[in-house]
Chains A and B, each alone.
Chain A
């Protein structure tokens, strides 16, 4: 909404700010407060103008995802170094970021490329566990010889995710499980079910096939479902 000349109005939360557009038509904030609710776009504009608090907020916000992606490619030992290198690239190149993709997409791709470069440099970094890409074993206890349920899924007291989220103990169980999921499964889960990335993009980012992404996702979701099942039956993790 133009106010006059090179000014636009920026609505953030319930507060309306006046901001100047730069030569690219974006709106670098002048004295916009940096908060956890600031949009990435606003933070990037501020960081491009040298606002360090904005860059710190971007790091706080995206570090977990970046570490997960790096761990999935180079393993836990080298993940932190990989992400550090990626942030250094971001720090040096932020001025050239034009916003053709989202900042998150851009920085995840930088981490993925950095990790793959490391992997090529030293193929000993990760011993690939191919068994992770095999379809989960068919649960023979739950099905008869014809593949029909012999032990069907039990009813949950509530199947709504929002209602389940109110159970503090269940949250802890889920958290604990997420922390011990194999690295690739966790990265695939975060990229798909949290970030809603297309399967093809996840495959490309992690350097694996689409079919393998599907297997990782299925394994991760089955594990998480079993946690909820167990909690429903016993009230414990």
Chain B
């Protein structure tokens, strides 16, 4: 049986596998989560942090460098 430290070490891989249903579920991992509320909280918080950060980043993705870049491309082409 996995211990809590091992669960936290594999937490990201678990979230990635959970996102891709064709990957096999890790039964040992799931069994541990059923029995351990601290690890369940760790997984929930790791998931929330990554979703939150992705949302924050998505609002910062856009730049205004297009005009400048296009001008350079036209000079070089």
Q: Which residues of A contact B (CB under 8 A)?
A: 36, 52, 55-61, 63-65, 84, 87-88, 91-92, 135-136, 138-139, 142-143, 146-149, 152-153, 155-156, 159-162, 164-165, 170-171, 174-175, 177-178, 189-190, 192-194, 196, 198-199, 214, 217-218, 221-222, 224-225, 227-229
Contacts and interface: CB of A to CB of B under 8 A. Distances in A.
A217 B15 CA distance: 11
B70 A174 contact: no
B67 interface: yes
Given A147-B3, A165-B56, A61 B12 contact: no
A225 B45 contact: yes
A153 B11 CA distance: 14
A143 B15 CA distance: 22
A217 B12 contact: yes
Contact of A229 (B9, B38, B45): B45
14 contacts: A56-B67, A60-B64, A60-B66, A61-B61, A64-B63, A88-B73, A88-B76, A159-B44, A178-B53, A194-B54, A198-B20, A199-B16, A217-B16, A225-B50
- SS class of chain A's interface: helix, strand, loop or mixed? helix
B57 A178 contact: yes
Contacts of B24: none
Given A135-B9, A175-B56, A228-B48, A148 B66 contact: no
